[in-house]
Structure 1
């Protein structure tokens, strides 16, 4: 691979090439974060990492190697460029491209199978008490492993001798490309659907809250995204580009792109159900910020209320002519039961009930009986 990269003679200039270069970085980073959080969750729980955890890590490593192979296809093989352009720049690049594509599909079939095995062993660990489900999971493990081995060897030896895969002038034979592509693609999609749907009946039989059943089902069904991508990338069944198959360097650009998305999404889906213990650490900063904002809002409201009450109790300078100002209290505040009013006649505070008049109060010329709630301040 290093020798191939040394011969890099192409630049990513069009949208086909740029998508193959940029998208894997984004999806790969997300997958890496999920695997790291998965191991963090095990650490928080003080649990040792099990076989499904290590398989997720292996799948991540293989995915990054796979992304490196795709970069080599762009920069050394001219992937995403019309074949006429590739030949004009470097006539030997087509041979390099075909070698890389052989490595691409061989590595893909292994990596995607490791992702599926990680999910299956996670099922076995979680639902091991259900013998029927455990038995079905082990059957799927055998089928997926068989598919990985058979797919790897059938890809490598799709042409005999192997060199005929990248050199059409060599005498030999190759399997029918369309039939092989259809078989591998359909088997993989069927396995994806089986892995996603097998746990659902068992989840809905669990004696847990219905809301938790829905959440678990949704998490497992995230794998359907990878299944849809797997289906769309079968170029022998769905021609989404309109590029003729003879244009080998540009014909498979969308398939390569879908592969760079499919594998990381599969890793993310196999990790998400394990991340509950670490979600508290992720959401803690946001919860803290929300608490501070709520506390600040309450303090601000409290200060505003204090200022309103303070304005009611203020009084002006004493004068010989007394004047009273009536201020209607807002309906959103509780009624004031008793309020102190200072008047010149006795030079001391007397209490009058303002919420309703009372016949038992002493008759006083300075007393004011009102039927509605007011606050009285001296001017």
Structure 2
């Protein structure tokens, strides 16, 4: 550990850890417990207000919340086993617990993030039931599952033998930490980016005014904040690998951003489901349904006029026009139906 690194931190030991480091982690823990819990509770309440049953995406986000609790509890245990203290000052028994939690963290974190992504994809599949979206959702879901499984396999075999990860007295060989972080976080960032932009094309194709399309796209793109947290977390993880062997002392920022990233992701996944909680939203969705009704009324009127006035328009052309408009109407109807739970 270099002298300039030591001087940039307030010294701490196991009995008197760095208060600034621990304070930042404690604040992040409060947010990471509170924010996703409230978001999921509001989501379920919104279902109840709409008279809806819970859908697959709701169950998936509930599972993600449980694993999020696991991650946060793990970080809490780190605080009591040396986080913010110099590793040389931490008793051996506490170090073993500390590194066992560190070994289990990729399983809890990866599973949590995977279920968040799968919940969002299930929402897309439920709302935007068009062929290309269904195919895209299935492909991305497969990618997410493969990513999660590969991270778990790599985490399991992080060190050979496995026990050498937490028992430093055992001679073993371990995966390069920086490479493991890149392998975990870069695919995570890329998949988040793809999931964020997936619904934009379908939303643009809806026969509603441009301002409403922008508003609707904005609801889904609010989750872009998660992408920022992904990138920051990768950066602090890489910085940790450059900080030297005093892991218990320098790992606080990584623990903090790990807590916050998954919490923000759950909140972002729940936001599109909050519409029933806000009275001002009802006008927008009523307008969306009205645009469908107006489109159908206009189509029926045009069809009757064309039939009564002249036979100059051929039947195949008219059939094609009805099919195009009907497809748009079905898309709007399906979207409105699933957001409002019309029976």
TM-score of the pair, normalised by structure 2: 0.73
1:39 is the counterpart of 2:44 = yes
Of Structure 1 and Structure 2, the greater strand share is in 1
Q: Mind listing any 5+ residue stretches in structure 1 that lack a counterpart?
A: 1-8, 284-379
Equivalences for residues 60-71 of structure 1 within 5 A: 60-71=65-76
1:80 is the counterpart of 2:84 = yes
Higher relative contact order (CA 8 A, sep 6+): 2
Of Structure 1 and Structure 2, the greater helix share is in 2
Give the direction of change, closer, same or farther, for the CA distance of 1:28–1:214 in structure 2 (3 Å limit): farther
1:211 is the counterpart of 2:197 = no
1:93 is the counterpart of 2:94 = yes
Aligned residues of 2:160 and 2:172 also touching (Cα < 8 A): yes
Between the aligned partners of 2:120 and 2:74, the Cα distance in structure 1 is: 25
Between the aligned partners of 2:17 and 2:201, the Cα distance in structure 1 is: 47
Between the aligned partners of 1:175 and 1:22, the Cα distance in structure 2 is: 32
CA RMSD, aligned part only? 2.3
Give the direction of change, closer, same or farther, for the CA distance of 1:157–1:79 in structure 2 (3 Å limit): same
State the Cα distance separating 1:268 from its structure 2 match: 0.6
Q: Mind listing any 5+ residue stretches in structure 2 that lack a counterpart?
A: 1-13, 283-343
Between the aligned partners of 2:18 and 2:70, the Cα distance in structure 1 is: 23
Q: Which residue number in structure 2 is paired with residue 169 of structure 1?
A: 169
Between the aligned partners of 2:237 and 2:30, the Cα distance in structure 1 is: 28
Partner SS state of residue 245, structure 1: coil
Give the direction of change, closer, same or farther, for the CA distance of 1:82–1:235 in structure 2 (3 Å limit): farther
State the Cα distance separating 1:153 from its structure 2 match: 2.1
Give the direction of change, closer, same or farther, for the CA distance of 1:120–1:11 in structure 2 (3 Å limit): farther
Aligned residues of 1:158 and 1:175 also touching (Cα < 8 A): yes
State the Cα distance separating 1:243 from its structure 2 match: 6.8
The structure that has the greater radius of gyration is: 1
Deviations 1:100-144 (A, max 9, x none): 11122221011111111111101100001x110111011001110
Give the direction of change, closer, same or farther, for the CA distance of 1:172–1:23 in structure 2 (3 Å limit): closer
Q: Which residue number in structure 2 is paired with residue 110 of structure 1?
A: 111
State the Cα distance separating 1:42 from its structure 2 match: 1.2
Within the candidate set 19, 25, 29, 2:24 is matched to: 19
TM-score of the pair, normalised by structure 1: 0.66
Q: Which residue number in structure 2 is paired with residue 247 of structure 1?
A: 246
Aligned length: 269
